[in-house]
Structure formats: C-alpha cells, structure tokens
Amino acid sequence: MKIPFAVCIGVMVVASLCHAADGDAGKGAQIYQRCLACHSLEHNRSGPRHCGLFGRPAAALPDFTYSQALKSAGLTWDAVTLDRFLENPLKAVPGTKMAYAGVKNAQERADLIAYLKQATHDPAKCPEGSSR
C-alpha cells in the first residue's frame, strides 16, 4: 500500500508542531531569569512567588495583594492557562497588575512552563505551610 506524499508531509508537520509544544526546562530556567525582577520561586516580590504554582487557583496566596481582575478570572494555573497568560497577560486578564508585554515566542513559553512545572513542585523552594 502506498501512502500519499501529502499525508506524509501532513504527519511531519503535525509531529514538528507537537515537538515545539514540548518544553525544555533547562532553557526555561534561562528564560525565567527575565521574571526575577518581579518574581521568585521562594518569596513574594512585586509579583507573587511561584512555589506550588501548578494546580493553584490564580490569586490564591493569602499574603499577596492581587488585582480584582485576577481574583475574578476564575483561573487555575496549569500549562494551558499559563501559556495563554504568559503570551499576553493584559489580554488574558484585562485589568491585571502584571504590566508585562508577554512572551511572544511559543517555544520560549513552552520552555518556561516546563521549567516552572519542574521547579515549582520542589517543597524546599516554598516557605513552610505556604505552597498553595
């Protein structure tokens, strides 16, 4: 049975797109350096800390003051919501206090999300009793 050339090309395109969605946590750690002006894994700064981020409802840390927009957004942080938010925070949540233009490159976002997923699950990075 011969497989049409167009089908082969289509499979290759889909496979490459799936690969682009895979993040590299090592590269993401480098990209996270841009976030350190406002965020940290361990402590709140002008932005909230990131420890315990995955699975946490947005605006849920009791010791950080969030915008009403983020409190009302009804988001729970996962790879999908982070991707949308990091691409353009002001578009994803109009009225957010996060005054950042966003990470426009999809691969950089995937790398950053891979890093955050890995790094924010480390209980040693979270102040005791405050990971969620």
pLDDT confidence of residue 39: 96
Domain range for residue 15? 5-125
pLDDT confidence of residue 126: 72
For 15, the enclosing helix (H) or strand (E) is helix 5-21
pLDDT confidence of residue 21: 64
Instruction: Give yes or no for a contact between 55 and 77, defined as CB atoms under 8 angstroms apart.
Output: yes
pLDDT confidence of residue 122: 74
Nearest to 34 by CA among 102, 127, 95: 102
Residue 131 lies in a domain: no
Residue 61 to residues 10, 11, 27, 52, 56, Cα–Cα distance (Å): 45, 43, 27, 10, 9
pLDDT confidence of residue 108: 98
| pTM of the predicted model as reported, rounded to 2 decimal places | 0.79
Residue 75 lies in a domain: yes
Pairwise CA distance, residues 82 & 75, whole Å: 9
Residue 88 lies in a domain: yes
pLDDT confidence of residue 114: 98
Pairwise CA distance, residues 46 & 1, whole Å: 61
pLDDT confidence of residue 121: 84
Pairwise CA distance, residues 34 & 30, whole Å: 8
Residue 72 lies in a domain: yes
Per-residue pLDDT in tens (0 to 9) along the chain, 132 residues: 455 434 433 443 333 334 446 999 999 999 999 999 999 998 999 999 999 999 999 999 999 999 999 999 999 999 999 999 999 999 999 999 998 999 999 999 999 999 999 998 877 667 664 444
pLDDT confidence of residue 12: 38
Residue 110 lies in a domain: yes
Residue 132 lies in a domain: no
Nearest to 64 by CA among 132, 115, 116, 113: 132
Pairwise CA distance, residues 110 & 3, whole Å: 32
pLDDT confidence of residue 16: 36
**Domain count across the chain:** 1
Pairwise CA distance, residues 131 & 84, whole Å: 23
Nearest to 70 by CA among 93, 88, 52: 93
